[in-house]
Structure 1
Amino acid sequence: MRIQQLIYTASIALMLSACSKEAKISLETAKVEVGEISESVTATGTVESVTQVDVGTQVTGIIDKLYVDYNSVVTKGQLLAEIEKTLLESDLKSADANMESARLTYEYNKTNYERDKKLHDKQLISDYEFQTSAKDYEVSKTSYDKARADRVRAAKNLNYAEIYSPIDGVVISREVEVGQTVVSNMNVANLYVIADLDNMQVVGNVDEADIGQVKLGQAVTFTVDAYPEMVFNGTVTQVRLNPTTESNVVTYEVIVAAPNPEHKLIPGLTANLTIYVTQEKDILTIPNKAFRFLPHDYPDAKNLPAAPADVEPFMAAEPDMKRVWVVRDNALVPVTIKTGVSNGAVTQVISGIGENDVVAVEYDMGMPQMGMPQGMGDGERSPFAPQPPGQRKK
């Protein structure tokens, strides 16, 4: 047991001796380079069509014919369905007859009124007779106007028996079957739902912590589970201010326009959005660590750029003004620069330094590699180390 303790003590002494060796100090630098800066916000949303129309009928009747079905591609003005027209045609004929009767009565009373007016002007008939004739004329005129209006309504209802597509699109829902009776009361009875799949949008739910960075016109990429290997592009077209709160989580709706020429996007798909709130290309960039660098004098270190004797604190006149230390002629020179956008790792340089300038980032305290203490190699093992699997203890 005493021999094992002596070996352990010697091992600790050798390790402490190795750690006490002098560390090598070097200066880590970075070149000012042309690059890009992007910062994004993630969200989830639902794919919807920009234009979606419920096609219905304003008249009551029995569905006689259906010309399109699910997934049918339709154009504006295309005939979609017909309602049985027998009753509607009868209503139109009745309206025509009533209008003709009213017209004859109106013309008869108009002739009597004009004749009685001339006689009344010559005082050949009494006031009572003239007033009666005038009343009959006005009543027949009103009845004729009503009959014409009823005829227009009947003709319009007959036209409503033919259902036409109001837009170009694709039928995504069919609500009726042939022979089914549709009843039009206060609400229009729906037959089809038609969506324009050429122009889709994603309604994204952005967290309240990120909504302040989302602006109109920002670029968006998103994926859907139906095509996991495809990336779709879009643009922010609307940021809605009405919040939604669910389980104490506040989100805001962001509308993203997404062209869909291949009709791969369909309503209802779940989309995973990446909104690029910052995206700058072909700009000068430097690491953010350069702003935190402070020069120090290490007399024993070799090959380090000379550091100034005194470093005064930097007071920025404006928030976008920063100080960096540029390596020039083997010396650290303070330079004030104007900065732009940042993503937390690198920052845009607007002015102050140019491409290929070298800035100091940090001092690297390189530690020497510690070797294994003598006597602890492959030939011998520490008595305190666990034995390899399958090896017998000595």
Structure 2
Amino acid sequence: MSKQSGPSETGNKDTPQIVPFPTAERPVREPATQKRGAARHWAIGVGLALVLAVATIYVWWSVGSSPGIRYATVPVAIGPIARSISATGTVNPELTIIVGTYVSGVIQELSCDYNTQVKRGQSCAKIDPRPYQSIVDQGKANLAVAKAQLEKDNASLTYARLSLGRLATLVQTNAVSRDAYDNAKNVYDQALAQIAFDEATIRQRQAVLDAAQVNLDYTNSISPVDGTVVSRNVTMGQTVAASFQTPTLFLIATDLTKMQVDANVSESDIGGIRNGNKATFTVDAYSRRAFEGRVTQVRQSPQTVQNVVTYDVVVSVDNSDLALKPGLTAATRIIVDQRSGVLRVPNQALRYVPTGAALPEGKQARVWVLRDGAPAPIQVTPGLDDDEFTEIVQGELKVDDKVIVAEQQNSANARSGVPRPRL
């Protein structure tokens, strides 16, 4: 007899399960997945509501607000004004001497180099003197021959004078013929002429010798001044030729503690420059340092390059610390007029015109002052101006008045100080 089997402990998957009916003591619990889904739907709804609210506020601020204008002002003040002219120039020593040579030859000695401190009369270079020494020796010999010839002819002159004297006595007593006397007189006259010729020959040969000696001396190039060698253009063994022009061997600056700027000033600006005008300039080597000087010369000779006419203006400057070097490029500012303690406004204030306002008629000038939050025009008479400010000679302007120099369209958000929301 077989035993009837019942349900297993683990249960059969095909057998329906009996779910208890919910009671107060046993409530039915929802699954966890249903809870998470409900929370997600709730978060999405809240996020959409916030986005809609922010968008509504943004549209209200952007569309509902009216645009405004913000003014940039500068207070009227008392201060200096200096009108200036800008020019570019080159820094140079006040006096530069060219040491050259009048003779040709081979450089045999070099006793000077760059930056050498030299004294007047000091030898800087020497050309091989042997060819010129030979010419001097030949000239001396020729001069000696001429002098010897003079001595010989002086002896002949003495003999001719004595002979003529004796014959002059004899001719009076008819002891000799008149022809003999005339012949002696002719010999004497020729002796005198020969002496004159010999003396002229000596002078001529002396001059030739002097010229040869000068050329010999020129083989030794010496410094004519005290100074500093700033340039050397020859080397040992180099051949220099002085056929058509004097070769430049050295450039010597007399005093590097005194420099000058040779500035090129446009023809449109040259009329305002006078000797004594103050000037400042900068060089790239010392970009943060401003050097000061004064105009010492306005040269009359024009310089024309590609139909552009400029004039050289010399600005002298002290260089006691030897900071400035020859050849530096200088950005120069020459002050042509200046005043101190004047009422001044920025140049932008004279150019500013509010939006919608009419331009001033003719040569009238005016500025706009911010009063009660609105621009108010004031007629003024301008005076001296520079790159930044203009002097006010006449007008109802006072110190600390707020003159308008610019305006900017501004939204209501910027005026109210409330930051615009970002999406």
State TM-score, norm by structure 1.
0.64
Structure 2 unaligned spans of 5+: 1-54, 172-180, 352-364, 366-379, 405-409
Aligned to 1:259: 318
- What do the CA deviations read for 1:171-230 (whole angstroms, capped 9, x no partner)? 232222223333332322332222343333222222333333222221111111222222
Please state if 1:90 is matched with 2:134.
yes
Unaligned runs of 5+ in 1: 1-7, 22-27, 293-321, 323-335, 363-367, 382-386, 388-394
The sequence identity of aligned pairs, in percent, is 30
Q: Counterpart amino acid of 2:197?
A: V
Q: In 2 relative to 1, CA 188–276 (structure 1 residues): closer, same or farther, beyond 3 Å?
A: same
- Change in Cα spacing, 1:167 to 1:41, as seen in structure 2 (3 Å) is same
Higher helix proportion, which one? 2
Q: Which residue is equivalent to 2:84?
A: 40
Please state if 1:216 is matched with 2:275.
yes
SS in structure 2 of the partner of residue 215 of structure 1:
coil
The match for 1:207 is 266
For 2:87, what is the secondary structure of its paired residue?
strand
Which is further off, 340-349 or 167-176?
340-349
2:338 match: 279
Aligned match of 1:238: 298
Equivalent residue for 1:194? 252
Cα distance in 2 for residues equivalent to 1:357 and 1:266 = 46
1:59·1:183 contact (CA, 8 Å) conserved in 2?
A: yes
Q: Is residue 229–residue 253 contact of structure 2 (8 Å, CA) maintained in 1?
A: yes
Letter in 1 for 2:136: L
Structure 2: distance between partners of 1:14 and 1:205: 60
Q: Is contact 1:243-1:251 (8 Å) kept?
A: yes
Query: 8 Å contact 2:76–2:344 — kept in the other structure?
Result: yes
Alpha-carbon distance in 2 for matches of 1:16, 1:168: 83
2: CA distance between counterparts of 1:275 and 1:287? 22
After superposition, the C-alpha distances for 1:210-264 in whole angstroms (9 at most, x for unaligned) are 3332222211111112222222222222244514243x54433322223323333
Q: Is the Cα contact below 8 Å between 1:288 and 1:344 reproduced in 2?
A: no
Normalising by structure 2, we get a TM-score of: 0.60
For residues 88-114 of structure 1, the C-alpha deviation after alignment (integer angstroms, 9 at most, x for no partner) is 333333322222221121233245346
2:345–2:392 Cα contact (<8 Å) kept: no
Amino acid across the alignment from 2:336: V
CA distance in structure 2 between the partners assigned to 1:256 and 1:109 by the alignment: 68
- Contact kept, 8 Å, 1:283 with 1:349, in 2: the verdict is no
SS in 2 for 1:178: coil
Residue by residue, what CA displacement relative to the aligned partner does 1:43-78 show, whole Å, maximum 9, x if unpaired? 212223332222122233332211111222222222
Using the alignment, how far apart are the partners of 1:228 and 1:148 within structure 2?
62
Q: Distance in 1 between matches of 2:154 and 2:419?
A: 129
Give the counterpart of 1:62 among 101, 106, 131: 106
More displaced 10-residue stretch of structure 1: 165-174 or 117-126: 117-126
* 1:184 matched residue in structure 2: 242
Rounded to whole Å, the distance in 2 between the matches of 1:52 and 1:361 is: 54
Q: 1:284 to 1:114 in 2, by over 3 A?
A: farther
Letter in 1 for 2:148: L
Q: Does 1:147 align with 2:205?
A: yes
Distance 2:76 2:245 in 1: 70
**Residues 223, 230 of structure 1: 8 Å contact kept:** yes
State the match for 1:332 in structure 2.
none
Aligned residues: 336
**How far apart in 2 are the matches of 1:233 and 1:155?**
49
- How far did residue 142 of structure 1 move? 1.0
Q: 1:172 to 1:140 in 2, by over 3 A?
A: same
User: Any idea what the Cα deviations from partners look like across 1:6-50, whole Å, max 9, x if unmatched?
Assistant: xx9x999999998799xxxxxx998884x3221222121222333
